[in-house]
Structure 1
Amino acid sequence: MIPRGFFLLFLLLISVSTSSALRIDEDYSLKDSEDEAETTRTTRTEQVTPRRNCSRDIQIIDKLLNGTGYNKFRIPTDEGVTVTVEFWIQAITTIDEITNDFEMDIYINEMWLDPALYFDHLNPCKQNLSLNHQVLERLWTPNSCFINSKIAQIHDSPFKNIFLMLYPNGTVWVNYRTRVKGPCQMDLSNFPMDVQKCNLIYESFNYNNQEVQMNWAADTFDDKGNMVAPIQLLSQIVLPDYDLIQYTARKLQEPYPAGMWDELHFELVFERRYIWYFMQAYLPTYLTIFISWVSFSLGPRAIPARTMLGVNALLAMIFQFGNIMRNLPRVSYIKAIDVWMLVSMTFIFCSLLELAIVGFKVKDEQPGKKKHTICKKVETAFESSPPGLCRYDERYMLPLDRKSIGSYRIPLPKWPPGCASWPPEKIDKIASMLFPTLFALFNIIYWSYYTQRKMEQRMNLTAPIPPTGSAV
């Protein structure tokens, strides 16, 4: 048997060893925790220390513009500055034929290098600085503008829409959101099947190309040789009466008394949607002319009804023509819609002339029988007069024979051989076939001619244009 004292001693030794092991484990755990905390504290210190030493936006702008002798009226480099331009078209709102202009919302991007704004050595907290228009007013700018615009203004709702970004190497990027109203070279000779061209010219107003060189943002061209990269559409352009079929950009050099200027030309080509004019002008004209032809089938005796149809059709045509011309400029040349309306009114007027001829023929037939009856009664009364009454001498009396009566008729106009004896029914029958045939022939000639002119006009306006060169 094991003595009780020895057993108690054994249990005491086991408890002491267990507590020592737990203490050692706790020491190692605490040490590991302290090591992890120290590592985390070191990492955080390494991350925070540079941020505490970096320069913020306000500090960088203050160091660049204050106390460094920066002058916004001085060109950044003596060799000249190259300004890169790019347009983003947001929307095209209206195209007005009366004032010959168009209106659009556009983003203008300009980028140039200003060595005086280099701040990479200042340890910036950000790689680029996004600033407002107040800082831009303290920087040098190329003073660019649209020299042929009627109205150009920067959106200011609720503040001026100007974006400014500075890069550490001194590159300046400016973005303006503007509304521009520019001119269009309106040629309405093919209206409403016309194609119109509008353009804007962007250049530096104060500096010639020895001081500021204006360039488009990219030099990529499409298969036609047109530069299209600098122009981007932010959304689809939807207009009620036009389709944007092409937009191009090119660079020209224009001579001025103060030197040569770089001009960036931005051109847009629009094709008119003529379906509205077809529904509002051409289709009613067709119906009006067809109604005027109904009078041919009413017969030669329905003079009042036929007169009402012809006069109403002519008045409706004149009213329709005036309503269309009210919304167009007063140009001195003939438009396609003018030819259509004038020829259509001529057809209706000719139908009224045909009605006058038929009415004259009908009137010429009826009074002959009436005169013969009246003369017969006069002759009978003259022979049966009682004796003793004073009788007029025969020389004061109208000749009562039928041949002599016919000699006092109003002479008819000279007709073509065989036409003078045509009855009114035959004239109406010939007119009912002749008028539609001539009108169909006119339609073939009209639509063929002006459709061909539209294709030629579109080809001329969308022809490839050299991207660079000198204006003539």
Structure 2
Amino acid sequence: MKMSKSKTRTLHCLWLFLLACLCSASLANNAKINFREKEKKVLDQILGQGKYDARIRPSGINGTDGPAVVRVNIFVRSISKIDDVTMEYSVQLTFREQWLDERLKFDDFAGRLKYLTLTEANRVWMPDLFFSNEKEGHFHNIIMPNVYIRIFPNGSVLYSIRISLTLACPMNLKLYPLDRQVCSLRMASYGWTTADLVFLWKEGDPVQVVKNLHLPRFTLEKFLTDYCNSKTNTGEYSCLKVDLLFKREFSYYLIQIYIPCCMLVIVSWVSFWLDQGAVPARVSLGVTTLLTMATQTSGINASLPPVSYTKAIDVWTGVCLTFVFGALLEFALVNYASRSDMHRESIKKKRRDMEQASMDAASDLLDTDSNATFAMKPLVRHPGDPLALEKLRQCEVHMAPQKRPNCCRTWLSKFPTRSKRIDVISRITFPLVFALFNLVYWSTYLFRDEEEN
């Protein structure tokens, strides 16, 4: 009996505990329901019909009649592309504005109501901000519109929205592809002048950028915030701007443009080492490299806008094309010199034959004179006598001043023809001049100050 009474008491305690838990849960749910109902009552109280006029701007600082102050901050989510041809870039960002509207103050119920959330921007007054350098833009509505408005107990309003923009970015391509570009994001008031509305950057960290931001051909070095108030015929308008400094990645252009152009120039020099008689090989090599270089240049220019000034890449491709064309002209000069050498050799051969014939005739005449017993030898030799000519040449050699030997002339004297000398000189001159050009080019454009542009 005692055991049964103790079990009964235990069961009664368990039932009482469960009943208390159920009661507390129901009371909590009722409190939550009542609390959400209070939110509705607060919204109706501050935004009800005849309570709030969204057409009237808020008052100034401390309730004065000064301009309404709107603080702005943005979060850059991604930068999809930077187009050199159209000079624009696309960016996706979270845009936030915050201002104080004392008409929206409400009771927070001892801190239990932190803020009210709205999804309709037309319920409260909104600043008329617009992006002055925008080309295209759209909101994000999947799955729901990516926008919210938070109203805090002290009347502070926070507006946040996710948008995608295509913005104009005027570029200076004089140093392309060794350049840096500054792309701006400008935000201004469209209708309210500075007497009614002023935009300020949020204190602390007004611009945030996603950590894993990746661009295919650029690197975001830094960004700067500034003000850009503008004056027009209708008044002065508040304006904010963000300058994004992009550095172009050079490795892509080094692999795709600079190294192939160097290889084409070096291949054109192979013709200097081919035989002078290999006309088809040298002509085909020069024409092929020239056409390839021209195709490379046209492909580069197709990816850039037609600007009126000279770019760094234009200097490089122009000089490389000149070297390839110079190698082709060098063969034309060699071919002309080779034919001149052949003509000169034929003339020398005819002259030697004539001299040999004259010497044979003179020797025959001497033999005839020696056979005549009563012939007298002349005291002075005839000017056409070969022995007299030989002695005259020896005297001129001894009388001529001795010159110091020139190493270049001595080295060139090893090559008997002018055409061969042109090839040998080209083998040395072309690489040296191209190396000098590279030295001047890279030292000029790599260490050139950006402000000079």
**What SS class does the counterpart of residue 172 from structure 2 fall into?**
coil
**What SS class does the counterpart of residue 81 from structure 2 fall into?**
strand
In structure 2, C-alpha distance between the alignment counterparts of 1:281 and 1:34, rounded to whole Å: 85
Alignment of 1:264-413 (within 5 A): 264-367=240-343
Instruction: Give the corresponding residue for 2:374.
Output: none
Instruction: Give the corresponding residue for 1:184.
Output: 169
In structure 2, C-alpha distance between the alignment counterparts of 1:52 and 1:321, rounded to whole Å: 73
Deviation at 1:59, TM superposition (A): 3.3
Alpha-carbon spacing, 1:308–1:40, altered in 2? closer, same or farther (3 Å): closer
Q: Answer with 365-374 or 121-130: which moved more.
A: 365-374
- Gaps spanning 5+ residues in structure 2: where? 60-64, 354-408
Instruction: Give the corresponding residue for 2:72.
Output: 85
In structure 2, C-alpha distance between the alignment counterparts of 1:91 and 1:447, rounded to whole Å: 33
TM-superposition CA deviations, 1:399-423 (whole Å, max 9, x none) = xxxxxxxxxxxxxxxxxxx999852
Alignment of 1:170-249 (within 5 A): 170-218=155-203, 220=204, 229-249=205-225
Instruction: Give the corresponding residue for 2:82.
Output: 95
Q: Answer with 353-362 or 248-257: which moved more.
A: 248-257
Letter in 1 for 2:46: L
Candidates 113, 118, 138, aligned match of 2:100:
113
**What SS class does the counterpart of residue 123 from structure 2 fall into?**
coil
Instruction: Give the corresponding residue for 2:358.
Output: none
Instruction: Give the corresponding residue for 1:451.
Output: 446
In structure 2, C-alpha distance between the alignment counterparts of 1:369 and 1:36, rounded to whole Å: 127
Instruction: Give the corresponding residue for 1:74.
Output: 56
Letter in 1 for 2:317: M
TM-superposition CA deviations, 1:217-263 (whole Å, max 9, x none) = 11x4xxxxxxxx21111342211111111111112332233333221
In structure 2, C-alpha distance between the alignment counterparts of 1:284 and 1:304, rounded to whole Å: 25
Letter in 2 for 1:435: F
Deviation at 1:293, TM superposition (A): 0.8
Identity between Structure 1 and Structure 2 (%): 29
Q: Answer with 173-182 or 112-121: which moved more.
A: 112-121
Letter in 2 for 1:361: A
Deviation at 1:153, TM superposition (A): 2.0
Q: CA RMSD in A?
A: 3.4
Q: Answer with 332-341 or 39-48: which moved more.
A: 39-48
Deviation at 1:213, TM superposition (A): 1.8
Contact kept? 1:110, 1:173, Cα under 8 Å: yes
Alpha-carbon spacing, 1:345–1:53, altered in 2? closer, same or farther (3 Å): closer
Deviation at 1:43, TM superposition (A): 6.3
In structure 1, C-alpha distance between the alignment counterparts of 2:280 and 2:426, rounded to whole Å: 19
Instruction: Give the corresponding residue for 2:47.
Output: 65
Deviation at 1:308, TM superposition (A): 1.3
Letter in 2 for 1:102: Y
The number of residue pairs the alignment matches comes to 387
In structure 2, C-alpha distance between the alignment counterparts of 1:52 and 1:245, rounded to whole Å: 52
In structure 2, C-alpha distance between the alignment counterparts of 1:427 and 1:67, rounded to whole Å: 97
TM-score by length of 2: 0.76
In structure 2, C-alpha distance between the alignment counterparts of 1:288 and 1:30, rounded to whole Å: 97
**What SS class does the counterpart of residue 137 from structure 1 fall into?**
helix
2:161 is the counterpart of 1:161: no
Q: Answer with 112-121 or 435-444: which moved more.
A: 112-121
TM-score by length of 1: 0.73
Deviation at 1:370, TM superposition (A): 6.8
Alpha-carbon spacing, 1:429–1:139, altered in 2? closer, same or farther (3 Å): same
In structure 2, C-alpha distance between the alignment counterparts of 1:372 and 1:29, rounded to whole Å: 138
- Gaps spanning 5+ residues in structure 1: where? 1-17, 221-228, 377-417, 462-472
TM-superposition CA deviations, 1:275-321 (whole Å, max 9, x none) = 22221211111111111111111122222211111111111111110
Name segments (4+ residues, structure 1) moved above 4 Å.
25-53, 121-125, 367-374, 418-422
Deviation at 1:358, TM superposition (A): 1.2
**What SS class does the counterpart of residue 248 from structure 1 fall into?**
strand
Alpha-carbon spacing, 1:168–1:324, altered in 2? closer, same or farther (3 Å): same
Letter in 2 for 1:205: Y
Alpha-carbon spacing, 1:30–1:279, altered in 2? closer, same or farther (3 Å): closer
